[in-house]
Structure 1
C-alpha cells in the first residue's frame, strides 16, 4: 500500500502542472499566513482531556463522543470537505485500514463542517465505512483549536475555482478547519494529536495506529 504522503505529493505535483501560477500563489499565501498565526501550536495537545461532542452523522443520527468512548478508544480525523482531494485521499487511506482499527478494539469517526447531504454523497461515492459527522460552523473543531476564518481574498479564490464553501457547509460563516488526526483513550485523554496548517500534509495512518491501545471489544 503506497504511503499516504506520497499520494498527496502526487496531487500537489499534478496541481502545479495544471493550475495557473497566480492561482497557486493565492493558496501558498493562505498557507503561509495560517502557519504564521501559530495555529499548529494551539491545538488540543497530548495529555489533554477531549471536549465532549454530540454531532449528527450523514443520516441525521446524533453521535455522542461519550457513547463512542464507552465502546473503545477513538480515532478522530478532522477534514475540510469532499471538495478537497487531499481529504478524500486521506479518508480512503483510513477506509482501507478501518479493519485494523476495529481489530485493535478502536472506533473511527471523521468530522468536517460540510452538510450531512455532502457527507452522504461522500460516504456513498467513496465507500466510507465509518461515520462522517457534521460540525456546523466548526464549533467542535474550534474546541480542538483547529478552526479559523477564511480571509476575504481566499474566499474570492475559492469562488473563482468554483468551490462554494457556504453551499457545501450550509452557512455563510466561511469557517474552515486545519486537517488533524487524534487518538483518544477511553477516559477521554488525548494519546496522539497532529495537525497541519498546510492542508497538503497529513500524518501516515500506519504511524497513528500504534497509539491505539489494545483493548478487548
Structure 2
C-alpha cells in the first residue's frame, strides 16, 4: 500500500495559492517587476563561496527580540540546530514558511531535543512584532548588517527596480533592517549537528520556493 505523505499542504502548494492572489492584488505592472526579479535571480544563481555540507558553522553576534546581543554558539548551547534565514517579515513568502515550520516542524524539533531559530537582518523590535503577529513560539534573531549571512555566503542585494516596486506597496526593506541597507539573505535552511558541522544547507535563489518540512526532518533523522 502506498504511504500517504506526512504533510499534504506543502509550502509549495501554499505558495501556489498565494501567488495568484498576490499578482491579482498588486496589478500586472508590479507583478511583472517581481517576475523579472525572480527570473534574474534564477539566471544568476547562488554566489560563489556559499557554505557547504561539512563546513563548520561560523559564530557571530545576534540580537534577540529584546535587543540583547548573544553569540550564536551560546544560543545553540552545543545542541544540534535548525537555522532558518528569512528575508524579513515584509515578505509574505517568509511569513507562510515560518508559520508552516511553527505548525509542522517545531513539535518534531522538540521531540529531537534540537534548537530551532530564525534569523533576518531586521531590527529586534520588528522581529518581535513579527513573532507576535505570526504566532511563532520559536526564537527570532536579528543579524545586524547580515554579518552571519555574509560569512555563510548567502547575502543578496535586491535590484533597484524591485526596491521601488516594494516601496510602492509601502514596504521599506532598508528602513526595517538594522544597518539601514536593503541587503537580505537568500532564504536558507541549515541543519547543524551538535559539533556545529553543517549537515544540510539549502539556499534558495528564488524566494518563491522554500525548503519543505519533510526535507528538514530527513536531515534531522540522518543526524
TM over 0.5: yes
Q: What is the number of equivalent residue pairs in this alignment?
A: 215
* 8 Å Cα contact 2:58/2:151 also seen in 1: yes
1:58 matched residue in structure 2: 65
Q: Deviations over 1:47-100 (max 9, x none)?
A: 111111220110123332222443410100000111111111111111112121
Moved more, 135-144 or 164-173: 164-173
For the aligned residue pairs, the C-alpha RMSD in angstroms reads 1.9
Question: What's the counterpart of residue 93 of structure 1?
Answer: 100
The question of whether the paired residues in 2 share the 8 Å contact of 1:149 and 1:176 is answered with yes
Unaligned runs of 5+ in 2: 1-6
Q: Please identify runs of 4+ aligned residues in structure 1 that moved more than 4 A.
A: none
Unaligned runs of 5+ in 1: none
Bigger shift: 39-48 or 96-105? 39-48
SS in 2 for 1:133: strand
Alpha-carbon distance in 1 for matches of 2:160, 2:168: 12
Q: What is the aligned counterpart of 1:126 among 113, 131, 134?
A: 134
- After superposition, the Cα gap between the structure-2 partners of 1:123 and 1:9, relative to the gap in structure 1 and judged at 3 Å, is same
Q: How does 1:141-180 map to 2 (within 5 A)?
A: 141-180=149-188
Task: Find the counterpart in structure 2 of residue 187 from structure 1.
Answer: 195
| Residue 3 (structure 2) aligns with | none
Partners of 2:163 and 2:92 in 1: CA distance: 18
CA–CA separation in structure 1 for the residues paired with 2:11 and 2:44: 26
TM-score by length of 2: 0.89
Query: How far apart, in 2, do the equivalents of 1:15 and 1:214 lie?
Result: 37
Q: CA deviation at 1:162?
A: 1.1
2:212 aligns with one of 191, 204, 209: 204
| Superposed displacement of residue 24, structure 1 | 1.3
Q: How far 1:214 sits from its partner (Å)?
A: 8.0
The CA distance in 1 between the partners of 2:15 and 2:164, in whole Å, is 25
Deviations 1:80-135 (A, max 9, x none): 11111111111111111212101111101100011101111011122211111111
Do the aligned partners of residues 42 and 32 (structure 1) sit closer, same or farther apart at CA in structure 2, a change above 3 Å counting?
farther
